[in-house]
Chain A
């Protein structure tokens, strides 16, 4: 059982990579990427960059055209207490989403983004 789960786990964002248990989604928040406009997106892996750039927004309609957005989801494992944050960066275009990349943080580097939500 665990072997199959171990094989499948890397492909399941919401599964804990240690104990293979389904993690709880504790936060789901939309962010605008301040100053990152269409054709100016560059991949980043530095948590400080995301802490500086991401500004929480209530919905995609509240950001101007051409500005990148990010969907941040924070997971928590009820068994081992591990947390994981997935930041999905995309360009919203008339109701569609042009996906750029998913960035993962599993050591609480960007947990501050969800503090007040």
Chain B
């Protein structure tokens, strides 16, 4: 666990995640091609390509879940009291209000989680994604944001590929979650500055 820089995307991890299965598939297909069985390599190549697609679409969230579980155990051993854990599709945020610490892990950097003092957070705000006026106002996503130095962290509490009216249950739940997380972060930040 690093307590240095905030790394939302680990470039080496992303490259490995994309290239490693592709390279493995190419090598295996090539080796099959050397065998004296006609056209077997085409079948194997197609099969491995499908496996690669499955891996790319499913493995990142599974790796994230496993790493998060390990990270939580590590935090427990260090006496970090997990008052609240929020998991979105792209990040997880764990707050210890008593000590004013915040633990963060990102989907594309699951091997480099960080723990920061909440007092380092400069600004916390909620973005309800509102678009339009009055009863026609809609939103496709709701998120809470915070800024540490020049880095902005945005964590979605609701996202959709279609717009929803602002008074729908989805949007209200998303706003409520975002408001709650912003309030908890603020409490942790104030606790840490005392």
Contacts and interface: CB of A to CB of B under 8 A. Distances in A.
B177 A66 contact: yes
A39 B177 contact: yes
B179 A93 contact: yes
A23 interface: no
Interface in B126-184: 167, 169, 172-173, 175-177, 179-183
Given A66-B181, A98-B173, 8 more contacts: A38-B177, A64-B183, A65-B179, A91-B176, A93-B172, A94-B175, A94-B179, A98-B172
How many of chain B's residues touch chain A, expressed as a range? 10 to 19
A16 B172 CA distance: 35
A13 to B, nearest CB: 23
Interface residues of A, number: 12
A91 B171 CA distance: 12
B7 to A, nearest CB: 28
14 contacts: A38-B173, A64-B180, A64-B183, A65-B179, A65-B180, A65-B182, A66-B176, A91-B172, A91-B173, A93-B172, A93-B173, A94-B179, A96-B167, A98-B172
Interface of B: 167, 169, 172-173, 175-177, 179-183
Contacts of B180: 37-38, 64-67
B167 A66 contact: no
B111 to A, nearest CB: 28
A62 to B, nearest CB: 14
B114 to A, nearest CB: 25
